[in-house]
Structure 1
Amino acid sequence: MATTADVRRDLAGLADPGRAAATSRFLQMAPGGYGEGDRAIGVSVPDQRRVAARYWRDLTLADTAELLAGEVHEERLTSLFILVRKFAKGDEAERGRIFRLVLANTGHINNWDLVDSSAPYLVGPWLLDRDRGVLDRLAGSDRVWDRRIAVMATFAFIRAGDFEWTFRLADRLLRDPHDLVHKAVGWMLREVGNRDRAAAEEFLAGRYRDMPRVMLRYAIEKFEPDRRRAYLSGTV
Structure 2
Amino acid sequence: MKTIIEQIRQTLNESIDEKTKNGSQRFFKEEIKSYGVKVPIVNQISKAYFTEIKRKNKTEIFDLCEELWHSGNFEECIIACNWSYALRKHYEREDFIIFSRWLQNYVSNWATCDTLCNHTIGTFIMMYPEYILELTNWAKSTNRWVKRAAAVTLIIPARKGLFLDNILELADILLLDKDDLVQKGYGWMLKAASESHQNEVFDYVVSKKAVMPRTALRYAIEKMPANLKTEAMKK
Q: TM-score, normalised by structure 2?
A: 0.87
What secondary structure does 1:105 align onto? helix
1-10 or 63-72: which moved more? 1-10
Which of 47, 57, 60 does residue 53 from structure 1 map onto?
47
Other-structure match for 1:65: 66
The runs of 5 or more residues in structure 1 that have no matched partner are: 29-34
The answer to whether the 8 A contact 1:188-1:219 is kept is yes
State the alpha-carbon separation in 2 of the partners of residues 71 and 207 from structure 1: 38
The one-letter code matched in structure 2 to 1:39 is K
| Residue 128 of structure 2 is aligned to residue 100 of structure 1 | no
State the alpha-carbon separation in 2 of the partners of residues 170 and 189 from structure 1: 8
The answer to whether the 8 A contact 2:202-2:232 is kept is no
Q: CA deviation at 1:131?
A: 3.2
Other-structure match for 2:155: 155
Other-structure match for 1:17: 18
The ranges of structure 1 where at least 4 consecutive aligned residues each deviate by more than 3 angstroms after the TM superposition are none
Other-structure match for 1:78: 79
The answer to whether the 8 A contact 1:4-1:64 is kept is no
Q: CA deviation at 1:96?
A: 4.4
State the alpha-carbon separation in 2 of the partners of residues 25 and 123 from structure 1: 27
Matched length: 223
1:21-56 Cα distance to aligned partner (Å, 9 max, x none)? 21112123xxxxxx23x2122111111111111122
The runs of 5 or more residues in structure 2 that have no matched partner are: 55-60
Say if 1:125 and 1:10 are closer, same or farther in 2 by CA, change over 3 A: same
Other-structure match for 1:31: none
Higher helix share: 2
The answer to whether the 8 A contact 2:156-2:192 is kept is no
**Identical residues among aligned pairs (%):** 24
- RMSD over aligned CA atoms reads 1.9
Say if 1:231 and 1:160 are closer, same or farther in 2 by CA, change over 3 A: closer
State the alpha-carbon separation in 2 of the partners of residues 75 and 92 from structure 1: 21
